[in-house]
Structure 1
Amino acid sequence: MKFTRKANAQWKGSGKEGKGTLTSASGVLNNTPYSFHTRFEDGQKGTNPEELVGAAHAGCFAMQLSFLLNEAGFTATTLDVAATVTFEDGNVTTILLNLEGKVPKIEAAQFQEIATKAKEVCPISKLLNTKIELKTSLL
């Protein structure tokens, strides 16, 4: 299967005082604001690249895990994934995927094994050049 997706960014002004917007072809992002302040300061309304990478990674990982669980004969009731992206000295240094899953009839060791495989084969994991950590919790 092959497909493409498209998103646009527009920036106006200097790096620190300027502002930008992000728009995705799907319309989910529609002139969504981002700026130095939304990226580097807490409490500012808008998004930032690291937040979007975290959302993309969490979503991709959860879907990949769901497919792998299905292949092993399990269906998750819920997979909650929080991605924490750490930015340090101009680099994304770590992404922590914190997974809480409800999967009927699966043993904890098998859940951990399948989750680890999902982390390794998730297309966004393979795209990123950073350390990716995984913590799992089977509820």
Structure 2
Amino acid sequence: MSIYDYTVKDYQGRDVSLAKYQGKVLLVVNTATGCGFTPQYEGLEKLYQTYRQQGFEILDFPCNQFGHQAPGTDNEIHDFCTFKYATTFPQFAKIDVNGDKASPVYQFLKDEKTGLLGGAIKWNFTKFLLDRSGQVVKRFAPTVEPQRIAGDIEKLL
């Protein structure tokens, strides 16, 4: 299996095959709108604007598993992000990243890069960087600000 074998729902409930991102450098992030890390949306958008023309995509997966910090519907979350942070990168439907109902995409990502503390996602804004062939290259803790990832993205582009 690769990341491209999965189909997910976008924030409007439509099926999206991740195969459409084949050949791109990807940053996959589990996000929340009411978290101390929520201002990272601004840095993520800056990364997206800087590198998207070179084949970079951010895949935003809201998650309400950590402190219920992503309340609301998928559309409400999308509206918040686009209004407050002017995000333009793809946003998907809210998912679970841990447990029995974890998204298969996140199960794949965790299996590929377990991180320092094991496979489980510890909090919102954990980031996975994938190369153009869909291989998980790095996993970043929530505390890693988006601008600190720029050098790793540039190496893959």
What is the TM-score normalised by the length of structure 1? 0.24
What is the TM-score normalised by the length of structure 2? 0.23
Task: Report the structure, 1 or 2, having the larger strand content.
Answer: 1
Greater C-alpha radius of gyration: 1
